[in-house]
């Protein structure tokens, strides 16, 4: 089988210890939690660290809880929470169903048992020309994300368009989640939407040595959310599209929508927030919202051949999935 390269393994027990270690090792280190993304990427020569720092043993990173902050209830998830825990957590299913649904559709059961929320948030972008063995990429002539200078997706392109393929990202953006980061320069909070940038080589604002340690989502009784994933098989596959929808409804009136947010991912390096969602005004009937959000998403999303399957079909599936996600929230 493909062997792992040689590296030094570190297992800090506390967050400060981990932050110190990462600061000291600099760009020679990568962080590993569940390993479902990092290990295959190391086997493919996509990352070549001298040091691997495991944060799997840091207890402070675990846990899912509801915390009272001022007038708000906040769902707080440790970055080390396993995707399988998130998928089955009653709290998450109640407060942030889109996140539970997204976590439940990552890979297969084994990946979700190992993979963590933080790991999925920081998942490397993916591309059919990048996630291959060294031999394959060498035969291709490499690409600008790794070892090469050309883009095979966009001929003549100078910016990497590898796709954000983390299922939790669109859900967290639609849910207006806060990401709590900790690094050598201290702690900061970044909105999930602001965490991602449109650069496939590195699509996050994470600074060297910085970790995602926690995610918080404000509870709001009038919020409903759902997640849809386009894939050819019912497990294992990375998304051909992933779509999260948040709808704001008020009172007991359930046939109308007051506001919406739609995020589509697996397009390019950054999950795309659909502008048409901001035009959904109070009192919009569900079916009208579904149609307008679907149509808006179709107009704004143009899938690239960075991931597999027919791009025209993937585009046609954008409104289909958006509408399904919206209509599932009715009633």
Site residues, other proteins (CB under 8 A): 1-6, 108, 128, 131-136, 138-140, 232-238, 308-310, 312-313, 316-317, 320
CB of 126 to other proteins, least distance (A): 9
Which of 195, 238 has the CB closer to other proteins? 238
DSSP state of 186: E
CB of 134 to other proteins, least distance (A): 7
CB of 1 to other proteins, least distance (A): 6
User: Cα separation of 289 and 325, whole Å?
Assistant: 11
Which of 34, 209 has the CB closer to other proteins? 34
User: Cα separation of 304 and 268, whole Å?
Assistant: 7
Pairing of β 272-273 and β 259-265: antiparallel
CB of 237 to other proteins, least distance (A): 7
User: Cα separation of 41 and 79, whole Å?
Assistant: 21
Which of 9, 232 has the CB closer to other proteins? 232
Which of 68, 232 has the CB closer to other proteins? 232
91: its two tokens: 């709290």
Residue 196's SS3 state is strand
CB of 86 to other proteins, least distance (A): 20
CB of 275 to other proteins, least distance (A): 24
Which of 45, 183 has the CB closer to other proteins? 45
Residue 69's SS3 state is strand
User: Cα separation of 62 and 45, whole Å?
Assistant: 30
Which of 154, 320 has the CB closer to other proteins? 320
User: Cα separation of 54 and 66, whole Å?
Assistant: 27
Which of 70, 156 has the CB closer to other proteins? 156
246: its two tokens: 């948040």
Which of 184, 313 has the CB closer to other proteins? 313
274: its two tokens: 């659909």
User: Cα separation of 177 and 188, whole Å?
Assistant: 14
45: its two tokens: 């020569």
CA 283 to chain centre: 31
CB of 290 to other proteins, least distance (A): 13
User: Cα separation of 82 and 113, whole Å?
Assistant: 6
Q: With beta carbons less than 8 A apart as the criterion, state whether 178 and 172 touch.
A: no
CB of 155 to other proteins, least distance (A): 13
110: its two tokens: 């084994």
């Amino acid at each position: 089988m493909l062997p792992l390269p040689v590296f030094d393994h570190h297992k800090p027990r506390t967050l400060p210890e981990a932050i110190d270690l990462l600061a000291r090792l600099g760009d020679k280190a990568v962080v590993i939690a569940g390993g479902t993304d990092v290990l295959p990427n190391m086997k493919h020569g996509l990352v070549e660290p001298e040091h691997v720092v495991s944060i799997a043993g840091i207890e402070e990173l675990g846990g899912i809880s509801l915390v009272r902050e001022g007038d708000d209830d906040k769902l707080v998830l440790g970055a080390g929470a396993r995707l399988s825990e998130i998928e089955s957590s009653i709290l998450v299913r109640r407060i942030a169903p889109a996140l539970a649904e997204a976590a439940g559709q990552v890979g297969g059961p084994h990946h979700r048992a190992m993979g963590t929320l933080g790991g999925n948030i920081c998942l490397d972008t993916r591309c059919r020309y990048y996630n291959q063995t060294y031999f394959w990429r060498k035969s291709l002539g490499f690409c600008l994300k790794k070892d090469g200078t050309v883009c095979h997706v966009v001929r003549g392109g100078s910016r990497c368009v590898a796709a954000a393929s983390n299922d939790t990202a669109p859900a967290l953006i639609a849910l207006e989640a806060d990401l709590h980061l900790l690094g050598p320069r201290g702690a900061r909070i970044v909105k999930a939407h602001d965490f991602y940038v449109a650069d496939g080589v590195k699509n996050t604002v994470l600074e060297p040595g910085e970790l995602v340690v926690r995610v918080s989502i404000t509870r709001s009784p009038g919020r409903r959310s759902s997640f849809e994933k386009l894939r050819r098989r019912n497990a294992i596959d990375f998304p051909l599209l992933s779509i999260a929808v948040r709808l704001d409804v008020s009172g007991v009136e359930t046939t109308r929508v007051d506001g919406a947010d739609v995020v589509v991912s697996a397009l390019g390096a950054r999950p795309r927030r659909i502008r048409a969602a901001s035009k959904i005004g109070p009192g919009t009937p569900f079916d009208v919202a579904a149609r307008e959000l679907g149509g808006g998403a179709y107009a704004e999303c143009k899938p690239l051949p960075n991931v597999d399957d027919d791009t025209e079909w993937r585009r046609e599936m954008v409104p289909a999935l958006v509408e399904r996600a919206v209509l599932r929230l009715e009633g």
